[in-house]
Structure 1
């Protein structure tokens, strides 16, 4: 057979419709019922043998026609419960036999199953005592280690159920599984410690284990019982038996059981969150039926065991992390103490770094620098590996079989079969790579994992059959290191987090130093330039007296030039003051000295200064303040705010417009408003008016873009707030608040 033909058979096996077998196991009867009338829609063909009724004659009939009025009424009462588990048990006697009814609803149809009722099932005695749930749970809780927990579980379940073999099977990351605990009768072949290939439990079978906590096969040597009719009449599709206890299983699996020497099995799922962690697998050489009541107990044990395993694994991981705290503290201190960067700090303690994760070598990459300690691959190999790790996009990467995911590692697996790596999101190459060498070991497989399925010749062609050999098959593993534990992986994450925090702290410190240096530079420049600009202004004044604008042509030219120099010097002084204020605001060092002020007096001063500017453009400038308003404010700085806002309003209001200034009080603050009838500010620009260097470009050739930014800083320094509203063609309004003077009672 060609390899591609064998792969196609494997795919067909994986796609086997195990949820929709169209048949059940023969030890019970299955019905589907319509609601609300409970008419029989489908029925298993063995209803003729077990209930002495012909299946075709039952279709469309009410349920009571089969089981009687009282039991049918009991089913109706079960439907009233939120979950059928809460309903009383349903017991009936038909054709001389007692049955127990199990009900569930799935995909819009009621499924009712009847199984034999065994009232006096006696579990096997172990060491002269009979197991019971209460004692078993106490013994589970007494386990101090995970392995002890596994051993107690298999021993107790075997005693409770009487199976010849009970084992715990744990799934590994790679997909295969290992038997980690076993309790077996003396004549049974032992599987404890053996590995089983992933193909023994295909993915769709694992999905069923995730959906159902328990699956039972009382007798693998059975003939499936078909459903009548084969398809659902309402949908024309096969009935989904995912949650049916009687669901017929794959014939390949039944043959697999026989090859293992068992005819009866029960599997209990072990979950970790929503993931399938493993199975409790029970097997018996002879057919064995476990009644529903005992299966429910076993299912509860599986659920409790799942929680116990998760809790103990979490405690074990926590213990592993605690063991790393001291080393992580030393490494963190080294990173903090480093004068340059965090990776330089790590190079100061390589042995601590290797001991942190039990590595035999470590490489530290910091841009062009590569530091290697212990047993490491060649530098060019490390650089190539690091480049590949960056391409994976994983901030922390771990593998104990590196060559399986990165083939070039096969050239140096004697020093780096395992790698654990972490890196930071920086623009330069960086990272820490820990290495472990190849560990020569043999893994015992239950049969050749490369031959988990055989081929069987049939007249109709070839089909897969389960393997027949479970003899121990040893494989010497190459290119594999010891696994990185959860604690070691967490240590890599913790170290990365510390490195990231230290690196960010260094960046913030550098930025703060840059801000301080800039502030100092602005202050020095402002101070050093202010004196020369004052001298220039004074000299311009003196020269202005010597040259008259009414004199000769050359005298008028010199006078005009002096005017220009004076204006430039004045603007330079304003710019220097703005830069100094901006620097203080950004550094959080802008201070004001509030004193009680009368608002009407401030308005008078503002009017006397700014009215000439408004008069020049025939702008109606008005001031209105509620009488008696008192505020706490720095007079010089508050006047600077009003001057800037009113000056801007006059500047951007066309001739014969109007500018209104008002002040209104409430219980805690005074609200100032400066409104104009100018052209307004575009909606996309309005959110940015208080940003640094924002300026209205039209009609403002000399604007620095710092006025409103400084205005906002002054208002905030007073404990107030400022906002702007504007509409194109309708003008703008700037409002700001200042705390009012709080008068003492009786004043």
Structure 2
């Protein structure tokens, strides 16, 4: 549940920093001793010692504890101190007599100090005590346990616990209060007498129980305030005589509480309260909160039974939550298996995921999804626009999210960009690459919510001079707030399923990378053999082709006049074919050499390189109306000779395929991207059909007839090989009779 309002600021420091674990005082319904260890002499005692023992507190300091407790309890205390990790939690030692008063004795250690607490066993109905409760504790707890199997959901379980605690303690109202993720509370169940106000379904702000108070509830599972009008009883001396510090009373049942909390109780019309902690998975899940309109003391045996009931309730809640999440996780696992099967059937992980759009949405319970990979953004369901998703991915890549990110309130968590993501209010994203910006994202719509608070949580008391006073709010009447911009919270099982998908994708990618590495090794070996063969063949073919051309020229020179017209035509065809074969052999030799020669990377001014190539093409554009439009090009680090060859092939192609255009326009431009420079050679020539684009950069691949446009079909293959050796990539876009654009990228930083 989202945090709806900021917690009220109370005073210059606020309740958040109040040292409530070291109040230096206790509640007056018991006696507290701090003992030396070893020796068990009284070194600190509450100032109400006279009331319990007939001796002044100062007179008891330095005395052995045997002056207050009997030998049997002292022996039990000695035994406990001899156990490993003794008394880390309060331990009931038994009962002892102090004068005519029987007292229950509890001991614990905290901060190295040995603390004893004595509380009277009730003998009458004073302060609302009813001795009859003690005799019915076991049957009531047994009745509670017996009814647990019939409670299949959280609400009836909490309602049963609230009824049982009210029956055991006699409080007028008992609430089951759950802390949400932002630490504000919500009342799930309530048992009350008719004359008590109902708080069922109401929410309480996080500031009602500050952080350090929640930590004490986690450490000490039960706390009683018998009378909100009590006067705190100080410890004597005020500080521990051995440490000089205030004694830590975090685990003491008698610990005095904050005066702000007492005022809070009185404002609520509650003069007695008891809280039982609900601990789930080691964290404070909630409280069983008991209220009474009059002072009320609850005897220690009853409190111990209530604490036991709270532990049973905690285990039941944890089991139900775990079972529910486990069942949901199993359902999502079946969806995940179908997605993985789809990925296994396809070469592309993106295609495998997007081939099952319903399963991809179901995996995270999302309204929309997107897969961003290798420059593609595939949207599914009701997802934001592609540009908004790309911006979000750029932002995610700059965050330290450990491979996964989730938010149910993008308005607060994604600064400046949440509006562009409409209709999404929440996102769950996983990174599926450790090197690149590849993500799977799920989106959820906004859910408008109303929250009913127990009073306006923004209200604070004010002193007469108008400044904020240390006074909690005085009204707990229902106060409604409408929340916008929140999506439904991502469940733990959904986040876990997304993590499993991420690990599976990375594992598949790793396996395919290993397979590709093995294939590449084999291809590299084959390519080396092929390049060596191509080099050998093309080199050996040069000589006979020169002979053919040479003898054809000699034949034309010496006997050309005696040849018939048909013979001369045949001789011209032989010469032209030999020249073409020679050019083809030269291109093949260049192609094979490019895979063998080492790159010599140097800074290359692209504008100078383009100008040089344009000058070299001068003879091919004589008497043509051709316009060059050359933009501002960057300096790149590359092999200058190879890059010149690639540019010559691209520009020569543009010149060739604009032959039928008047004017012919060729544009060379550059685009600055985060990791690379992208260059574009654009023309208004004959273009090509995109369905044949995969053939453009292959050896001997042509999209136009030889009779229309000459060429060997190796030029663009050379371009691709040069660019790929520079760790870039090449692509093209065209349309018949509307020109073409050939693009290639060069990384700004070359691989080591």
TM-score between both structures, scaled by the size of structure 2: 0.65
Q: Is the 8 A contact 2:90 2:106 kept in 1?
A: no
Q: Is the 8 A contact 1:413 1:437 kept in 2?
A: no
Q: CA deviation at 1:316?
A: 0.3
Q: Is the 8 A contact 1:441 1:476 kept in 2?
A: yes
Q: Is the 8 A contact 1:219 1:264 kept in 2?
A: yes
Q: SS state of the match for residue 386, structure 1?
A: helix
Whole-Å separation in 1 of the counterparts to 2:80 and 2:494: 52
Q: CA deviation at 1:250?
A: 0.3
Deviations 1:257-312 (A, max 9, x none): 12222111111111223321111111111212111112112212222222221221
Change (3 A) 1:106 1:356: closer
- Kindly indicate whether residue 497 of structure 2 is the aligned counterpart of residue 495 of structure 1: no
Change (3 A) 1:287 1:88: closer
Change (3 A) 1:519 1:311: farther
Indicate the residue corresponding to 2:610 in structure 1. none
- After superposition, residues 640-659 of structure 1 pair within 5 angstroms as none
From 352, 366, 389, the equivalent of 1:359 is: 366
Q: Is the 8 A contact 1:102 1:114 kept in 2?
A: yes
Paired residues, what number? 520
Whole-Å separation in 2 of the counterparts to 1:246 and 1:458: 36
Q: SS state of the match for residue 369, structure 2?
A: strand
- Kindly indicate whether residue 395 of structure 2 is the aligned counterpart of residue 384 of structure 1: no
Deviations 1:29-80 (A, max 9, x none): 1111113322211111111122221111111122233446665455445534
Indicate the residue corresponding to 1:407 in structure 2. 415
Q: SS state of the match for residue 163, structure 2?
A: helix
Q: Is the 8 A contact 2:33 2:44 kept in 1?
A: yes
Indicate the residue corresponding to 1:343 in structure 2. 350
From 467, 475, 479, the equivalent of 1:473 is: 479
Deviations 1:381-437 (A, max 9, x none): 222212222222322222221111113244246501111211213422211222222
Whole-Å separation in 2 of the counterparts to 1:397 and 1:331: 21
Whole-Å separation in 1 of the counterparts to 2:134 and 2:55: 37
Whole-Å separation in 1 of the counterparts to 2:357 and 2:37: 71
Whole-Å separation in 1 of the counterparts to 2:201 and 2:485: 22
Q: Is the 8 A contact 2:10 2:468 kept in 1?
A: no
CA-atom RMSD in angstroms: 2.9
Q: Is the 8 A contact 1:403 1:413 kept in 2?
A: no
Change (3 A) 1:71 1:366: closer
Deviations 1:657-697 (A, max 9, x none): xxxxxxxxxxxxxxxxxxxxxxxxxxxxxxxxxxxxxxxxx
- Kindly indicate whether residue 268 of structure 2 is the aligned counterpart of residue 266 of structure 1: no
Indicate the residue corresponding to 2:339 in structure 1. 331
Q: Is the 8 A contact 1:131 1:160 kept in 2?
A: no
From 241, 250, 254, the equivalent of 2:258 is: 250
Whole-Å separation in 1 of the counterparts to 2:139 and 2:405: 46
Q: Which one scores higher on RCO, CA 8 angstroms, separation ≥ 6?
A: 2
Q: CA deviation at 1:86?
A: 11
Q: SS state of the match for residue 205, structure 1?
A: helix
From 92, 99, 104, the equivalent of 1:100 is: 104
- Kindly indicate whether residue 511 of structure 2 is the aligned counterpart of residue 505 of structure 1: yes
Whole-Å separation in 2 of the counterparts to 1:78 and 1:518: 75
Unaligned runs of 5+ in 2: 1-7, 124-129, 537-752
Indicate the residue corresponding to 1:217 in structure 2. 225
Q: SS state of the match for residue 461, structure 2?
A: strand
Q: SS state of the match for residue 380, structure 1?
A: helix
Whole-Å separation in 1 of the counterparts to 2:331 and 2:74: 62
Change (3 A) 1:77 1:87: farther
Q: CA deviation at 1:221?
A: 1.3
Q: SS state of the match for residue 197, structure 2?
A: coil
Q: Is the 8 A contact 2:457 2:473 kept in 1?
A: no
Q: Is the 8 A contact 2:385 2:421 kept in 1?
A: no
Whole-Å separation in 2 of the counterparts to 1:88 and 1:353: 56
Q: SS state of the match for residue 183, structure 2?
A: coil
Indicate the residue corresponding to 1:226 in structure 2. 234
From 434, 451, 457, the equivalent of 1:443 is: 451
Indicate the residue corresponding to 1:9 in structure 2. 11
Indicate the residue corresponding to 2:243 in structure 1. 235
- Kindly indicate whether residue 380 of structure 2 is the aligned counterpart of residue 373 of structure 1: yes
Deviations 1:355-398 (A, max 9, x none): 33332222221131112233232322222212222222322222
- Kindly indicate whether residue 138 of structure 2 is the aligned counterpart of residue 136 of structure 1: no
Q: SS state of the match for residue 485, structure 2?
A: coil
Q: SS state of the match for residue 308, structure 1?
A: helix
Whole-Å separation in 2 of the counterparts to 1:20 and 1:193: 34
Q: SS state of the match for residue 152, structure 2?
A: coil
Q: SS state of the match for residue 454, structure 1?
A: coil
Q: CA deviation at 1:130?
A: 8.7
Whole-Å separation in 2 of the counterparts to 1:380 and 1:529: 48
Whole-Å separation in 2 of the counterparts to 1:7 and 1:251: 16
From 275, 287, 291, the equivalent of 2:295 is: 287
Whole-Å separation in 2 of the counterparts to 1:7 and 1:282: 26
From 53, 56, 71, the equivalent of 2:58 is: 56
From 479, 482, 490, the equivalent of 2:488 is: 482
Indicate the residue corresponding to 2:23 in structure 1. 21
From 405, 409, 419, the equivalent of 1:397 is: 405
Change (3 A) 1:29 1:20: same
Q: CA deviation at 1:26?
A: 0.2
Which shows bigger deviation, 150-159 or 513-522? 513-522
Change (3 A) 1:314 1:87: closer
Change (3 A) 1:477 1:528: closer
Whole-Å separation in 1 of the counterparts to 2:535 and 2:408: 67
Whole-Å separation in 2 of the counterparts to 1:458 and 1:246: 36
Whole-Å separation in 1 of the counterparts to 2:91 and 2:389: 64
Q: SS state of the match for residue 299, structure 1?
A: helix
Which shows bigger deviation, 27-36 or 499-508? 499-508
Q: SS state of the match for residue 290, structure 1?
A: coil
Indicate the residue corresponding to 1:122 in structure 2. 132
Whole-Å separation in 1 of the counterparts to 2:491 and 2:228: 40
Whole-Å separation in 1 of the counterparts to 2:344 and 2:72: 79
Whole-Å separation in 2 of the counterparts to 1:380 and 1:528: 47
Q: Is the 8 A contact 1:124 1:161 kept in 2?
A: no
Change (3 A) 1:522 1:379: closer
From 33, 37, 40, the equivalent of 1:38 is: 40
Q: Is the 8 A contact 1:320 1:486 kept in 2?
A: no
Unaligned runs of 5+ in 1: 1-5, 531-747
Q: Is the 8 A contact 1:217 1:266 kept in 2?
A: yes
Deviations 1:449-475 (A, max 9, x none): 323x4334499x863111111111111
Q: Is the 8 A contact 1:416 1:435 kept in 2?
A: yes
Which shows bigger deviation, 198-207 or 325-334? 325-334
Q: CA deviation at 1:112?
A: 1.2
